[in-house]
Amino acid sequence: MAEVDVQQRGAVVVVRLIGEVDLSNVETVRTGLLDPVGHETESLIIDLGDTRYLDSTGIRMLFDVALRLHARRQNLRLVVSDETIVRRVLVLTKLDQSVPFDRSVDAALAACE
Amino acid sequence: MSGAGPPGSEPASGRRPSTRVPNGPADATQLRETEIATVADLGRLALSGVDADELFSRAMEVVTTLLDAEHVGVFALAPDDRLRLVAGLGLATDTVIDPDADVIEAESVRRDEPVVVTAGAGGVGPGVAIGAQLLGGVAQAALTAIIRLPGCPFGVIAAYSDERRAFTDDDVVVLRSVANILGAAIARTRTEDELRERDIESRLAFGAAGMGVWHWSPASGSVRWSPELETLFGFAPGTFDGTFDGFVAAIHPDDRDAARRTVERATATERDFSMEHRVVRPDGSVRWIEGRGSPVRDAAGAIVQWVGISIDITARVEAEARNQAREIESRLAFAAARMGSWRWNADRREGVWSPELETLVGLAPGSYDGTWEGFVAPILVEDHPLLIKAVVAADRGDGEFSVRYRIAHSDGSIRWVETRGRRLAPGDWIGVTLDVTELTMAEEAHRASEAILRATSDSAPVGLAFVDPDLAFVWVNDQQAEIDGIAVAEHGGRKVAEVLPRLGDAIADNVRSTLASGERILGVALEGETPAHPGVIRSFEHSCYPVHGESGAVIGVGMVVVETTVRREGERQLADAHARLEETVGRLDTLLENGPFGFAFFDLDQAAVGLNERFAEMTGRPVDESLDRRLDELVPGLAVAAGDRSVEVGGVNSAVTGAERHWLVEQYPVRSAAGRPLGMGVVAVDITEQKRRERAALLIGVANAMLADSDPVQDWDRVTQVAVPEFADFCVLYISPRAGLPRRFAAAHVDPAKQALLIGAEQRWPTDVDRIRAAIPGPDPVLVAEVDVPQRVAFVSSDDQEERAFAEAHGARSVILVPLQRAGRDLGVAVFACTEESGRRYHEGDLDLARQLGQRFEQLIENTYLAHDAERARARLSVLAGISDILAVDLDSQARLDAIVQVVLPSVADACAIYRPTDDGRSVRLAAFASTDAEAVDYYDLDERPTLHAIDSPAPPAVVMRTGEPLLFEHMPFDVLASLAEPDESRQGRAVEIQSLVVAPLPGPDGLLGVIAFGLRGTDRHYESEDLVLAGEIARRVAPAIDNALQFEQQYATASALQLALLPERLDAMTGMEIAARYLPGAVDVQVGGDWYDAFELPGGSLLVAIGDVVGHGISAATWMGNLRTLVRYCAFDGQDPATLLARLNSYCMASAGADMATVLVGVIDPLSGVVTLASAGHPPPLVQRVDGSVHVVWEGRGPPLGATSGARFESIDIVVAAGETLVFYTDGLVERRGEPFDAGLDRLAASATVGRREPRTLEEFADWLIADALGGQPASDDVALLLLRPDSPSGDLRMALRTDATELARLRRVAGEWLRVHGARPEEIGELLLAVNEVAANAIEHAYGPGDGEFSVAGTMSGTTVTMLVTDAGHWRERPRPTGRGRGLAIARQLVDHLLIDSTDAGTTVRLRRDLAGES
């Protein structure tokens, strides 16, 4: 239902989350997001541009990911398109106040420099 | 054939390849239909009269195609028995094969049967031994067939293959069929050639005989002449003006009236006529013509035209130089002048002489003084005793005398006379005196000259002369006159020496020597100058023959002078002349008694007072019985003429012997010295033989003309007419029956009324021809000159007294029976008969003409047979080909039966019926009937009333059904005919008129399928044993077709019954959902398919619909379909979603042996929300017809067909079918057409659905519309199943039952999202609402039950623009907000909807969400 596409850009890991995330697959997605992140990783960028659905468990998972990275002194950035149901639910849950949003992967990479 | 022994008896040869002589009848195998059609085409080509080369080449093409042989040859049997290649394909030309060669072509001829060889299996080897030389390749297999003509083989056709292969029995039959066609075509061509030749011959005969043919049409007055006739009349060909007047104008003026009268009388009486007349040719020459004419009538008996023959009599006379008739005529004139009559009364010593008698002795008419002295005065004194002795003897005896003596003519010559006298009363004598010297000498000399002339050429003259004892010429021929250089007439009385000054002395010496010695002098060489050619010395051989009178004395010398200037030729002529003259002279002494003259004298009362033996012979009445009888008694039809001399040709037969005689009769008056009439002298000459020859030529000419007409004879009575009346008073022809042709009877009678009587009698009492044939021991005609009464009734076959009486009254008096046969085969019998009508009798001399006419009859019959055979063969081929056509067309058994009985009409039968056993086997039922008689078809009304015959009834169909043996009734007995009548009592009076019947069994794999009956109406043809073969052949061909059709129909019925039983009888009414279903079986030529559908309600209120198609047809497909349907139900009740269900089904299919592949489409529908969850196993995509009319094709959710691969994955998708929208499930039969891509059919169906929406239709109406429109009005070629679902318009609610499983959330979002979309929610509204309901549902899943399966439901309703959604579970969950717990979910939900209410009770928890779509959230 959902796939992750991982790209290593130096110390930055870019993971694209494709499909729907709900209660049924949220643990799988969590693993998919955290596995590429090692000790040398400075920043993780999660690209939600192709994420069609993200329910509250998904948001909870993202909070969880953000907490873990924060504890390791690693940065997390989310790429979120404007005017989407995903952005709306992230704003509703105030995740945008904990994790910086970018409108594109390039913008997120630039912010990591 | 010499080598006709069994194959095993052939001398063994090590390298001999295997040789097989196919046995069994040709029809033992069944040819493929294409082969039959091809061979039939060849047959048609042959009958079209194409020339032999083209036929051969086409035949060889057929053989190469059908037999797959690379080389083909046609060999003809030469007179020396060698085979000569006449046409070849892939063969070297000019091949000749010796009759005893060890090759298959020759072997086939020796055995007189087809031969098949294949090269030995041992190795490649040299191939098989063949006589033909292949152009490339080696023959490894070969096959032959004999080409036959009637009675003899024509040759061989052979096919060769480069490959080692075994020719099959079918190949043998094909080649034999081709050979038979070639044989028939060659036979026909030969017959035509023969007829053409004969036509030319008869034309030549016409020309040579001076014979021409004319046609005269009285209506138009036009006369049509053959070129020969124009020549006859002296016209240039084509110049005759074609009118009757033109014809009359060509006739000699003296004969015109008579000719006109004859023709007028003939046209008035409408009878045949014959006449003799002269014509004056434009060059002034005069010809004698004999004309004969006969009327030609149309069917109504009216005369259409006259046809006739004219024969130039003159031509014959002149061509033969001395025609007998003309010669006799001239001699008669001579005789009349040299004959006188007398009467002597001894008592009164008074005599009377006719003037002719006075002239005869050289006295002036009237100078006889009536005294005895005067009577005997001319007689040489030494001969007086001869006369007196004869008279005295006669007076003592029978009163007749005949005496020959000499008289001294007043001109000084001595003449021989014969006097015949008869005593009328004592002392009263009457008689005639004939100058026999000149008569007989001239006659005999003439004959000799004629004979000699005939034997030699006219260019080498042979002189003939008679010289009297005074060495004076009595008579000379033209050649002698030419030698002598003076005219014939100037010889009379002149001395030899005077006429031939240089040769005369030598000739005179020879003559004198012969006169003195009575010895012949032969071949004395003479040489000298003749007056004809002064100065030319010519060589002659001179011979003298003594001529003896009755007294034995030499009365003169006949001499022959042959010019020997050309020596060798002369010698030959001389020898011939000697032989003939010797023979002639030898006969001379008896000439007077046995000569050709009949002689009689009649007094003024027309009573015969004297006649000679010859006359008596001619009349057939002894002399003494003839006296005192009138002329017309002695010679019927001939009266003593009142006037002067007249000449008549009489077709006369004696009342006594019956022998037909023809005489030339001359009458001349006998007068007294005073000119008083005394009576009539009659001289008659027998010209019977001449007449017979003329008549034979005429009849044969007419018969030949018939043969020249190449069309088969239709009117056989007209054929028999040839012999009547010239040769027979009646003529009867019995033509033997032959396959398909009945025995024929034809008759002609001189009396038309009796002809009708004769034909009527034959119909009433058919003659037993075998009895007639038994009377003919050999191949030659048999003469029964006198038929007595017992013989007449000998052929009467019955005890019928009436028939006996008829035979006695009308039978023949004299017959000739001619057996007709050709090549040893009996063709019939011809009977020529004479009756009381003419009183004639046949004799030996008539046999030749009878035989010749018989040969013409044979040829005519043979021609008719050949034409008939060709017609039969054609009909047979066309029927068999017609049957092939039927079998190719239709699988419906009744249609096939109807077509079969129709196709044999009218060539093989006038009526045809097929009977089938009834199911209980106790009767046969008429299953199909056709007839050329529309009334008969009406009579058997198969639809209204069954026509049944009990199986144990005597009706032929029942008998054949019972026995399995074919039946033949050549002529239907009435009781059998009655047994076939329709069993309805009220209709039995109208029996169908079948005169001849063949019934053949229709063999099936398990006993008889029924019987087929062929009937002929009318009497012009009937079936024979040969037709049993044809009937059997037809039956064998049609039986498998009928069987197939019946079997198919039975299987089809079973399968469709099974399928229909497996489909739901009716679909349960569902709340909020309309359903319509259709199932259409495919067209009849395709087996029942495995299409199915099902629809039923699941626990919880949703509906399962399924549709499927099992690959394959027939009963097994229908059975498997039933299995699948059950499995679907089972799995669906088990609560599986469509994709899982299909995966289970696929596993089952893969595990089941013999499972057919199948496509299945399964949908689970929530009636309230219209949400449909679909999964497809290779099935055509369903359609959704939207409210706006657009049609959506649901391509998603497709997996592989069931049974295709193990472990196949299936996917469920959700769509929403809103109120008023229609979901369309179907099988491929609705969209697939042969030769068309699937998409085209799908587009068509989509278009139909779109168009169908434009008018309001109930779902049932819409189902009918879709099927009709998508199929385009055609019957479905494959099965069609259609299932339509339409949610009710009022309801648009969402109703979902969900398991407490996180995986259900995605389905919930799909279904609810679709539902919202359909109800007009904007995408962001849909997203927010889905997020809200998903959070609530996730809560239910996580907390309602704990571990394990539970259920909850989601419902949605629209009220105006307000959406209300309820999530209900049976658990007890509480809002337990935690920082990162699920409280966040509910919090999110609350922010996304206008209103969220949690209603938790003991029974469970319901969360209600509400949002106004129109407003801002």
State whether B1338 and A20 contact (CB < 8 Å).
no
- What is the rounded distance in angstroms from the CA atom of residue B682 to the CA atom of residue B332? 10
How sure is the predictor about B186, in pLDDT bands with cuts at 50, 70 and 90? confident
Structure confidence at residue B324 (pLDDT): 42
Q: Which tens digits make up the pLDDT trace of B706-722? A: 777 656 677 788 888 88
Report the half-sphere exposure of B440 (CA within 13 A, side-chain side): 28
Name which of B58-67, B433-442, B510-519, B1164-1173 the model is least confident about.
B433-442
Instruction: Specify the pLDDT at position B814.
Output: 86
Give percent above pLDDT 90 in chain B.
Answer: 3
The answer on pLDDT for B31 being more than 90 is: no
Q: Give me the interface pTM, i.e. the ipTM.
A: 0.83
Nearest-neighbour CA in chain A from B1380: distance (Å)? 6
Chain B residue numbers touching A93 (CB-CB < 8 A):
1384, 1387-1388
8 A C-beta contact, residue B420 and residue B431: yes
Residue whose token pair is 């794999």: B1005
Nearest CA-CA distance, residue A83 and chain B, Å: 9
pLDDT of B650 higher than 60 = no
- Cα–Cα nearest to B1012, from B893, B881, B923, B904: B904
Smallest CA–CA separation between B1305 and chain A, in Å?
8
In the sheet with B825-834, reading across from the earlier edge strand, the strands are: B744-749, B730-735, B825-834, B814-822, B782-784
CA-to-CA distance for B727 and B723, rounded, in angstroms?
A: 5
Rounded to the nearest angstrom, the minimum Cα separation between A16 and chain B is 20
Chain A neighbors of B1301, CB-CB under 8 A: 24
Q: What is the DSSP string of B204-270?
A: HHHHHHTEEEEEEETTTTEEEE-HHHHHHTTPPTT----BHHHHHHHB-HHHHHHHHHHHHHHHHHT
- In the predicted model, is pLDDT for residue B1 greater than 70? no
Apex A19 CA angle, A14 and A20, nearest 5:
115
Residues with Cβ within 8 Å of residue B452, at least 6 apart in sequence: B462, B464, B560, B573, B576, B577, B580, B581
Question: Residue B10 corresponds to which tokens in the numbers above?
Answer: 């052939």
B1331 vs A57: CB contact, 8 Å cut-off?
no
Check A55 against B1341: CB less than 8 A apart: no
Q: Are B665 and B682 within 8 A, CB to CB?
A: yes
Token digits of residue B169: 């029995």
Contacts of A58 in chain B (CB under 8 A): none
Pick A55's closest partner by Cβ from B1328, B1335, B1387: B1335
Tens digit of each residue's pLDDT (9 = 90 or more) over B1351-1398:
888 888 887 788 889 888 876 554 444 444 446 778 888 888 888 888
Give the DSSP per-residue string, B180-198. HHHHHHHHHHHHHHHHHHH
- Res B1417 pLDDT > 50: no
**Residues contacting B865, CB < 8 A, separation 6+:** B738, B741, B827
pLDDT for res B292: 73
A22–B1330: do the CB atoms touch at under 8 Å?
Answer: no
Among chain A residues, CA nearest to B1338: A23
| pLDDT one-digit tens code per residue, B358-391 | 877 888 878 888 888 888 888 888 888 888 888 8
Q: Is A22 within 8 Å of B1380 when comparing Cβ atoms? A: no
Query: What's the CA angle centered on A89, arms A83 and A95, to 5 degrees?
Result: 110
Instruction: Provide the shortest C-alpha distance from residue A22 to chain B (in Å).
Output: 8
The dihedral region occupied by B404, where left means phi > 0, alpha psi between -120 and 50, and beta the remainder, is beta
Q: Give the angle subtended at the CA of B1227 by the CAs of B1226 and B1228, to the nearest 5°.
A: 125
How far is A35 from chain B, CA to nearest CA, in Å? 22
- Nearest CB among B1303, B1335, B1341 relative to A56 is that of B1335
pLDDT at B12 > cutoff 50:
no
C-alpha angle with apex B635: B629 to B639, nearest 5 degrees? 80
Question: Which chain B residues are Cβ-neighbours of A23 within 8 angstroms?
Answer: 1302, 1305, 1338, 1341-1342
Strand B677-686 and strand B597-603: pairing? antiparallel
pLDDT in tens, B101-120: 888 899 888 888 888 888 76
Q: Which residue of B has its CA nearest to A85?
A: B1327
Q: Which residues of B touch A24 (CB under 8 A)?
A: 1301-1303, 1305-1306
Query: By CA distance, what is A62's nearest residue in B?
Result: B1380
| Nearby residues of B249 by Cβ (< 8 Å), 6 or more positions away | none
| Residue B1384 to residue A64, Cβ atoms within 8 A | no
Query: Most A CBs within 10 Å: which of B1334, B1336, B1367, as the mutation test of the A interface?
Result: B1334
Distance CA B60, CA B63 (A): 5
C-alpha to C-alpha distances, B629 to B123, B621, B670, B1384, nearest whole angstrom = 102, 11, 18, 165
Contacts of B1175 (CB under 8 A, 6+ apart): B1137, B1138, B1139, B1141, B1142, B1161, B1162, B1197, B1199, B1210, B1211, B1212, B1213
Rounded to an integer, what distance in angstroms lies between the CA atom of residue B88 and that of residue B161? Answer: 14
Name the residue in chain B with its Cα closest to that of A92: B1388
- CA nearest neighbour of B999 among B912, B941, B900: B912
A98 touches chain B (CB under 8 A): no
Six-digit token pair at B588? 């001379």
Q: Which of B1213, B1298, B1326, B1331 to mutate to test the interface with A (most CBs of A within 10 A)?
A: B1331
Per-range mean pLDDT, top range of B454-468, B933-947, B1331-1345: B1331-1345
Say yes or no for a CB contact (<8 Å) between B1324 and A22: no
**Minimal Cβ distance to A57: which of B1330, B1338, B1387:** B1338
Q: What's residue B177's pLDDT?
A: 81
- State whether B1385 and A89 contact (CB < 8 Å): no
> CA angle, corner B1142, sides to B1138 and B1148, nearest 5?
145
- Using DSSP bridges, classify how beta strands B948-950 and B400-408 pair: parallel, antiparallel or unpaired: unpaired
Residue type, B887: L
Q: Which DSSP state fits B607? A: B
Say if the Cβ atoms of A22 and B1392 lie within 8 Å.
no
Closest Cα in chain A, distance from residue B1231 (Å): 35
Q: Which two tokens stand for residue B798?
A: 């019955």
Contacts of B1303 in chain A (CB under 8 A): 24
- Return the HEC string of B332-375: HHHHHHCEEEEEEECCCCEEEECHHHHHHHCCCCCCCCCCHHHH
Long-range contacts of B1309-1313 (CB under 8 A, 24+ apart): B1309/A20, B1309/A22, B1309/A53, B1309/B1334, B1310/B1213, B1310/B1214, B1311/B1166, B1311/B1169, B1311/B1171, B1311/B1173, B1311/B1214, B1311/B1216, B1312/B1354, B1312/B1356, B1312/B1365
Identify whether the C-beta of residue B472 lies closer than 8 Å to the C-beta of residue B490. no
The amino acid occupying position B999 is V
Do B1017 and B932 contact (CB within 8 A), yes or no? yes
Do the Cβ atoms of A60 and B1335 come within 8 Å? no
Residue B230, CA distances (Å) to B210, B235, B307, B574 in order: 10, 5, 15, 42
Rounded to the nearest integer, the mean pLDDT of chain B is: 75
pLDDT at A45: 94
pLDDT at B202: 41
Chain B, nearest residue to A86 by Cα:
B1327
Helix (H, G, I), strand (E, B) or coil at B495: strand
